[in-house]
Amino acid sequence: MKTLTKTVVLLTGLCLATGALAQKLAVIVNVSNPASSITKEQVQDFYYRKVRQWPDGTALRFFDRGEDSPERSDFLKSVMKKTARQLDQYWISQKLVSGASAPTPVGPDRLVESLVSRFPGGMSYVSESFVPSKGVKVLKITGD
Amino acid sequence: MAASKFVQTYSIIRRLKTVMFAIAVFFVIGFFGNYFASQGSLKGLQEINNSNAIQNHLSQALEGLDSSILSVEKVRSAKQLRDIQFAFDQSQLLVKKAMGQALLHSGKNNRVLRYLNGASQAINNFEQSAEGIFDNHLYLAADDLEGELLVARQFSLEAREALKDAQISLRQSSNSLFAAIYQRRFIPLIVTIVLSIFFFTFVVTYGFSLAKKLGLSIGNLLRATDYVSRGNLTYEAKILEHDELGNLTNAFNLMVERLNRGRIELDHSIDRIKRLQEITAAFSEALTVEQVCDVTVGIGMKAIGARAGAVGIISGEGTELELRKSEGLSATVTQLWQSIPLDTRIPMTEAVGRHEAVFVEDRKGFDSYPAVLSTVEQEGIRSSVSLPLIVGNSCLGGVSFSFTTERRFTQDERDFLIAIARQSAQALHRSQLYDDAKIAIESRDEFLSIASHELKTPLTPLKLQLQMLGRQIKKGELTYRPEKLASIVESSDRQLSRLSRLVEDLLDVSRITSGRLTLNLERIDMEDLLREVLSQYSHQLRDALKVVEVTADKNVVGEFDKVRLEQVLINLLTNAAKYAPGKPIKVSLENRDPMVRICVRDQGPGVAPENQKRIFDRFERVRETDNVGGLGLGLYISQQIVKAHNGHIYVRSNPGHGATFVVDLPLHQLQ
């Protein structure tokens, strides 16, 4: 176990040292979630609330991060490929069209973890360096 | 032309009623059609209305939810938890009420129900977590509280989302409903238009055909009235439809037909009157019996188209019919029927005998007249009509027309023939009277010449002798011897008495003709009377050198006019002396109670049978004895006197063997 942790830390460090991008992001879901990986498109759909359920039918609960958190800016840049302003506009229009509102923003990692662990269909994103405790699991974002 | 019996099978009124009924039905159908066509839209509107209400409730729920979450968020800095909780409870109450209302309204809208269920679940979760926060926030660390709040917020978001979804769903369904209603907005109009087209098609076709038929029928009738008013009474209006107008047309036709029949009858009558007038004119021009017979046969044959015609007139004895005129019959037949005894059974004699017309309409009809069968066969006669010629109560004769075909005689023809016969009879009667008158005038003329001659005969010697005597007296000397004078005076006296007898006779005749002959009846002995007359007139008889032989029964007493009977006896004796001079006269008197018979027999030339009746007529004398003088009035007067005594006078004679005048007188006059 320790060796695994070490390798992860090493890899993270490597990435930080050499990475073109500032930080890699990871998706966390409830442990009960059978999914093992997730594509960027899926994440986008989930965020945009175009898909509201996991494939097994569990209600999807996406928790956004605080507006000024580095994870969110990364998330916008690498996954959503939109600016915060664009997203604000999107949600304003969505609120008018479908009544859907933006996912609830949650500040610290710990709180995100606890929320995801409490909802079976919970989901959020964390920096790759985040070490999950009990109740959540990390999914790699695959694809481009 | 006969208008057939009319049976009305259609009715205009009933058809008009049908049209009315159809209009009513169409109205009802139109109403219901529109109603059902709008029904869908109405339901849609109801639903839209319903969903609007749900929308309202959902909005309320959303507001309540918002205030709830605000209340919950206040927990972070809350001092008066109770107030916050109260506010939360109030807003939650509002939310639940609104949700309940929405659920109540959403009925069977499954999609909305699903969303609402999701919302309720989320609201429940939210409430639980909120309750949890309210219960435990004092014991929670700030981070944990924040987590709990986030959870509550998440639930409220979910509820919000579900409610929004429901709203959107409702809006969508409302929109689609509205779109559907909008799309279907023309359906009632189309239904109305289609029904109207049907209705108009029906009314136009049915009504038009009805109107057309009516128009044609009325036009027909108008044309017919036009024709009829112009005098075409044989025009028959066509019956197009067996309805009321057809009935009217039929009635019109019947009326016109009757009118026409009346006109034809009128024409017939006028024609008949014209023909009768012509006949009357023709008859009025016919003066003699022969002319009348000619006219009768000619007109009769022409009027009824007979093949042959004949007129028979009853002879003087009244025992037979003399054929006076026949046409269209062969000479042998005419010869055969020249005179027909009245007891021969043929149609003409039967008509004469029964005083009524006899119609034989076919060959069989002649079987009851065996006497004419041979003639019928010979001439090919198949039917005939025989009519009596009747004037007043007496029949003058008969007229008969024959046809070579069997035929029925219509009442019209019968009447016409009878009218002809009547006209003919009257003309015949007239002509007979004319003939009689002519004969009477002739004999009167003859009588006048005889009378003047007779009157002149005694006057000439009288005048001569008077002149001789006058001349003697003028000379103043009477050279005549007394014997000569006595003879002259006696001769003059004879001439005068002859004259006075002639005048007396003439007076008697005028008395008799004017009906002034009256008898002075007294009781006398006929023998005395006879002797008296014989002795009184012995000198006259002696003059004629007569020998009178008398054989008389005694006591022949009766009531007689003495003077008149003397006149009769003298007349008979003078006649006998006149016609048989120098021959003995036998006079006999027989008492044949209650009659008395006086016979005066001479031995003169006698009287021919054809003259035996005539000699008793006025102005009649037997021609062959022209050398005998006299007016020929004696026997006439004698006959009138005897008739006045209710007796008979007649003559029995064989020409060449003298004549016997017989006078039968009743002894007592019936009073």
pLDDT over 70, % of chain B: 95
Section B175-182 average pLDDT: 88
Question: A48: which chain B residues are within 8 Å (Cβ-Cβ)?
Answer: none
Query: pLDDT at position B79, please?
Result: 67
User: Could you tell me if B153 lies within 8 Å of chain A, comparing CB atoms?
Assistant: yes
What pLDDT is recorded for position B191?
A: 86
At residue A7, does pLDDT exceed 80?
A: no
Q: Do B160 and A111 touch (CB under 8 A)?
A: no
- Determine what percent of chain B is predicted with pLDDT higher than 90: 2
Residue B621 has pLDDT above 60, yes or no: no
Of residues B102, B92, B118, B93, the one with CA closest to residue B59 = B102
Q: What is the pLDDT of residues B388-430, one digit of tens each?
A: 988 888 888 899 998 888 888 888 888 888 888 888 888 888 8
pLDDT tens readout for residues B59-117: 988 888 888 888 888 887 766 778 888 888 888 898 889 888 888 888 777 888 888 88
What confidence score (pLDDT) does residue A21 get?
A: 46
Cross-chain Cβ contact A108/B161 below 8 Å: no
Contact at 8 Å (CB) between B582 and B548? no
CA dihedral B389, B391, B396, B398 (to 10 degrees): 10
**Count of CA atoms in the C-beta half-sphere (13 A) of B91:** 22
The model's confidence at residue A16, banded by pLDDT at 50, 70 and 90, is: very low
Q: Measured between alpha carbons, how far is B34 from B626 in angstroms, rounded to an integer?
A: 136
Q: Who among B150, B153, B165 is closest to A99 (CB)?
A: B165
pLDDT over 80 at B169, yes or no: yes
Q: How many Cα neighbours within 13 Å face the side chain of B366? A: 19
The mean per-residue pLDDT over the stretch B469-486 comes to 80
Domain parsing of chain A, residue ranges: 23-142
Give one DSSP letter per residue of A69-99, joined into a string: SHHHHHIIIIII---HHHHHHHHHHHHHHT-
8 Å CB contact of A101 and B157: yes
Residue A4 predicted with pLDDT over 70:
no
User: Residue B342: which pLDDT band, with cuts at 50, 70 and 90?
Assistant: confident
- Chain B hits for A50, CB-CB cut-off 8 Å, are none
Highest mean pLDDT among B254-268, B327-341, B452-466: B254-268
Average pLDDT value over all residues in chain A: 79
Q: Element (H or E) spanning B282, and its range? A: helix B244-285
Contact across the interface for A111 and B146, Cβ inside 8 Å: yes
Partner B contacted by A98 (CB < 8 A): yes
Q: Write the residue in A98, A104, A110 that is nearest to B153 by C-beta.
A: A104
Long-range contacts of range B320-326, CB-CB < 8 Å, 24 or more positions apart? B321/B348, B321/B349, B321/B352, B321/B397, B321/B398, B324/B289, B324/B290, B324/B293, B324/B397, B325/B290, B325/B293, B325/B294, B325/B296, B325/B297, B326/B297
Architecture of domain A23-142: 3-Layer(aba) Sandwich (3.40)
- Domains delineated in chain B: 37-188 (1.20.120), 286-439 (3.30.450.40), 516-666 (3.30.565.10)
Chain A: give the shortest CA distance to residue B198, in Å: 49
Check residue B663 and give its pLDDT.
92
- A115 neighbourhood in chain B, CB within 8 Å: 147, 150-151, 154
**What integer is the mean pLDDT of A62-78?**
85
More confident residue, A34 or B143: A34
pLDDT(A44) > 80: yes
Put simply, the answer to whether A119 touches B154 (Cβ < 8 Å) is yes
Are A81 and A39 within 8 A, CB to CB?
no
Select from B530, B528, B559, B565 the least CA-distant residue to B640: B565
Q: What is the mean pLDDT of chain B?
A: 84
Categorize the per-residue pLDDT at A129 as very low, low, confident or very high, splitting at 50, 70 and 90: confident
What is the pLDDT, as a whole number, of residue B3? 47
CB proximity list for B243: less than 8 A, separation 6 or greater: B8, B9, B10, B11, B12, B217
Q: What is the pLDDT of residue B28?
A: 92
Average the pLDDT over B621-629 and give the result: 50
Per CB-CB distance under 8 Å, the chain A contacts of B66 are: none
Q: Does B214 touch chain A (CB under 8 A)?
A: no
Which residues of A are less than 8 Å from B153 in CB distance? 104
Q: Give residue-wise pLDDT tens across range B307-326.
A: 888 988 888 777 888 888 88
Residue B244 has pLDDT above 70, yes or no: yes
d(CA B585, CA B598): 13
B147, B154, B164 ranked by CB distance to A98: nearest: B164
Are the CB atoms for B273 and B261 separated by under 8 Å?
no
What average pLDDT does the segment B514-528 reach?
84
Q: Given a cut of 50, is residue B662 above it in pLDDT? A: yes
Looking at A52-56, A140-144, B279-283, B431-435, which range is the least confident one?
A140-144
Which H or E run contains A115? helix A109-118
Q: In which band, very low, low, confident or very high, does the pLDDT at B543 lie, cut at 50, 70 and 90?
A: low
Identify the weakest region by mean pLDDT among B29-38, B166-175, B365-374, B540-549: B540-549
B160–A contact, CB cutoff 8 A: yes
Partner-chain contact B150 A98, CB within 8 Å: no
- Assign B563 a pLDDT band (cuts: 50, 70, 90): confident
Separation between Cα atoms, residue B565 and residue B325, nearest integer Å: 47
Residue recorded with tokens 């945009």 = A48
Q: Length of chain A, please?
A: 144
The lowest-confidence range among B60-69, B339-348, B354-363, B533-542 is B533-542
